[in-house]
Amino acid sequence: MQIIRTVIGASLLLGGALAHAACELPQRPTIPNGASASEQEMVDAQGAVRSYVDSAQAYLDCLVAEDKAAGDKESKDAKQARLDKYNAAVASMQEVGDQFNAQVREFKANQ
């Protein structure tokens, strides 16, 4: 029972720490031109895209934690600004995935 209390307490502390940490959107990766990229460049780009998506998901989670921590203490404008950041990050993640997939198709077409 003590272990459960410790885990719950640590989770609450971590959640509170995340809520007070500044959420930062990661930098988008550079996607190579599939028509001229080497196989290694494409593999490296795949890793960079995966890392970006993971980091961007952490950013989204941070925004959600901030929103929960703010509750009703915040203005509608501040909540809307956070929602706009969230939606822009989701759109960025989609764009990066689409761009990478287009370059993979280009790469495969030139093989």
pLDDT, tens only, 60-74: 999 999 999 999 899
**How would you class 93 by CB atoms within 10 Å of its CB: exposed for 0-12, middle for 13-18, buried for 19 or more?**
buried
CA 97/CA 49 separation, integer angstroms: 7
pLDDT digit string, tens, across residues 30-68: 999 999 999 999 999 999 999 999 999 999 999 999 999
User: Measured between alpha carbons, how far is 19 from 30 in angstroms, rounded to an integer?
Assistant: 30
CA–CA distances in Å: residue 20 to residues 62, 78, 85, 86, 102: 9, 15, 17, 17, 38
- Amino acid letter, 33: N
pLDDT band at 81 (very low <50, low <70, confident <90, very high): very high
CA separation for the pair 90, 77 (Å, rounded)? 20
d(CA 26, CA 107): 26
